[in-house]
């Protein structure tokens, strides 16, 4: 049995009526993204995912959505409030994780770094074309030997007259092979952290970008290995307001906030699909939803999804009041990524054999949930950030 396209129109499971809090503008934005997912993402994404190809036609259609640059005000950016920013991540994730990563890397990490850490001139130079999606951004922090301990990164930026000369390697960088604006995080001659913008990286001498193939998760977004050999970057391309990891903490924390919503979105879609399937699929002459063991799965999923949504909405409120701690977003990301994996298993089980078929969407979302557990800080690292806040003792370094 395959779920029909109409059955895939997600209604928006919202047991605690959290959406009652949305104002008209937020509701209209939610509906716009929801329609986009139904019309552009669900009917088109699966072949791209299977072929591990970036879906340019979906990215092209996304240009019209008023979401780019998230909370950044001015420069043609969306200027979203914290709840709207969360809702966008949530609704896109209900469609597809690869599209979510494409959006999160470009809009959240790349534009977010320029918006928060760039000078006025740098913001005016790069943000308007990125807000129109004329230029695509990427964010290169992780290295082959430095994942969780990105703070130990080895890429160097040596000052040479009016330029910096970059040497090093990066790994897993989303959008890199299609990027026009690539931010490379490196240490300068004084050991200070810098964000260095390479324009047109795929045509820049000394930059080699190779896509990573064979991923089982987020197959339709491109992640790449990058090597940098004596890459010349003009001094004015160094983000002005960053000298240490403390300076990029807010970019990463807002990234985690978005991923917390993303995990909740994936889990909500999984629940909605699985419930619909359980009502339609008959065994022993009855819908499988009439069996207690299937209802148990439905109840477990609905409860976990509701808890995730409650955490997201409350975090949005606190952030809008200017309250944010590393532990707060780490708890949200940790809980939702962990429970998202659990919900994915239950949803997959509910569909029996049909659950492993990509045409029912659940298998793709289940595999997307896998990597949400690992990026924007692995769940172990987020757990330790939270543990540090709760106890005052830093256990991250062992």
Ligand X SMILES: Cc1cc2nc3c(=O)[nH]c(=O)nc-3n(C[C@H](O)[C@H](O)[C@H](O)COP(=O)(O)OP(=O)(O)OC[C@H]3O[C@@H](n4cnc5c(N)ncnc54)[C@H](O)[C@@H]3O)c2cc1C
Give the interface with ligand X as residue ranges (CB under 6 A): 105, 139-142, 147-148, 172-174, 218, 223, 371, 374-375, 378, 380-381, 384, 396
Q: Give the residue with the Cβ less far from ligand X, 147 or 206.
A: 147
The residue sitting closest to ligand X, measured at its beta carbon, is 147
| Closest to ligand X by CB, 182 or 316 | 182
User: Residue 158 class from Cβ within 10 Å (0-12 exposed, 13-18 middle, 19+ buried)?
Assistant: middle
SS3 77: coil
Asked whether 241 and 250 are in contact (CB, 8 A), the reply is: no
Q: Which two tokens stand for residue 148?
A: 């969780």
**In the complex, minimum distance from the CB of residue 242 to ligand X, in angstroms, rounded to a whole number:** 15
CB of 389 to ligand X, least distance (A): 16
Nearer residue to ligand X within complex by CB, 111 or 294: 111
Query: Toward ligand X, which CB reaches closer, 177 or 306?
Result: 177
Question: Alpha-carbon distance 110 to 136, whole Å?
Answer: 9
| Cα–Cα distance measured from residue 150 to residue 307, given in angstroms and rounded to the nearest whole number | 31
Cβ-based nearer residue to ligand X, 217 or 306:
217
Residue 221 beta carbon to ligand X: minimum distance, rounded to whole angstroms = 7
Q: How many helices (H) and strands (E) does the chain have?
A: 12, 9
Pairwise CA distance, residues 78 & 283, whole Å: 49
Q: Are 267 and 336 in contact (CB under 8 A)?
A: yes
Q: Provide φ and ψ at 224, rounded to 5°.
A: -140, 155
Report CA Rg, the chain: 21
In the complex, the smallest distance separating the C-beta of residue 381 from ligand X, rounded to whole angstroms, is 5
Distance of CA 32 to the CA centre of its chain: 19
Closest to ligand X by CB, 174 vs 195, is: 174
As measured in angstroms, the least distance from the Cβ of 248 to ligand X is 11
CB of 156 to ligand X, least distance (A): 17
Do the Cβ atoms of 269 and 365 come closer than 8 Å?
yes
């Amino acid at each position: 049995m395959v779920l029909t396209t109409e059955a895939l129109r997600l209604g928006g499971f919202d047991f605690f009526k959290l959406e009652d809090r949305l104002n008209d503008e937020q509701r209209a934005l939610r509906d716009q993204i929801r329609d986009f997912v139904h019309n552009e993402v669900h009917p088109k994404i699966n072949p791209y995912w299977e072929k591990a190809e970036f879906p340019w036609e979906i990215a092209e259609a996304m240009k019209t959505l008023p979401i780019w640059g998230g909370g950044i005000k001015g420069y043609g950016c969306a200027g979203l409030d914290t709840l709207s920013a969360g809702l966008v991540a949530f609704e896109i994730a209900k469609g597809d994780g690869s599209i979510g990563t494409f959006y999160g890397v470009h809009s959240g990490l790349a534009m977010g770094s320029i918006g928060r850490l760039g000078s006025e001139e740098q913001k005016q130079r790069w943000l308007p074309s990125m807000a129109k999606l004329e230029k695509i951004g990427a964010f290169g922090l992780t290295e082959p030997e430095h994942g969780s301990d990105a703070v130990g990164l080895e890429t160097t930026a040596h000052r040479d007259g009016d330029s910096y000369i970059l040497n090093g390697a990066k790994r897993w960088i989303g959008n890199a092979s299609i990027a026009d604006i690539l931010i490379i995080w490196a240490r300068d001659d004084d050991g200070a952290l810098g964000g260095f913008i390479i324009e047109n990286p795929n045509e820049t001498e000394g930059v080699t970008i190779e896509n990573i193939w064979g991923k089982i998760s987020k197959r339709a977004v491109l992640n790449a290995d990058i090597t940098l050999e004596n890459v010349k970057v003009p001094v004015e391309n160094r983000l002005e307001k960053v000298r240490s990891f403390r300076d990029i903490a807010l970019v990463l924390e807002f990234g985690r906030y978005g991923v917390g919503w993303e995990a909740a979105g994936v889990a909500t879609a999984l629940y909605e699909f699985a419930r619909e399937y359980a009502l339609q699929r008959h065994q022993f002459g009855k819908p499988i939803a009439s069996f207690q063991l299937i209802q148990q799965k439905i109840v477990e999923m609905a409860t976990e999804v509701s808890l995730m949504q409650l955490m997201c909405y409350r975090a949005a409120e606190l952030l809008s009041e200017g309250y944010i701690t590393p532990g707060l977003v780490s708890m949200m990301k940790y809980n939702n990524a962990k429970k998202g994996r659990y919900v994915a298993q239950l949803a997959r089980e509910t569909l029996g054999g049909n659950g492993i078929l990509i045409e029912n969407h659940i298998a793709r979302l289940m595999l997307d949930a896998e990597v949400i557990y690992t990026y924007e800080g692995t769940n172990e690292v987020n757990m330790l950030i939270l543990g540090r806040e709760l106890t005052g003792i830093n256990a991250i370094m062992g």
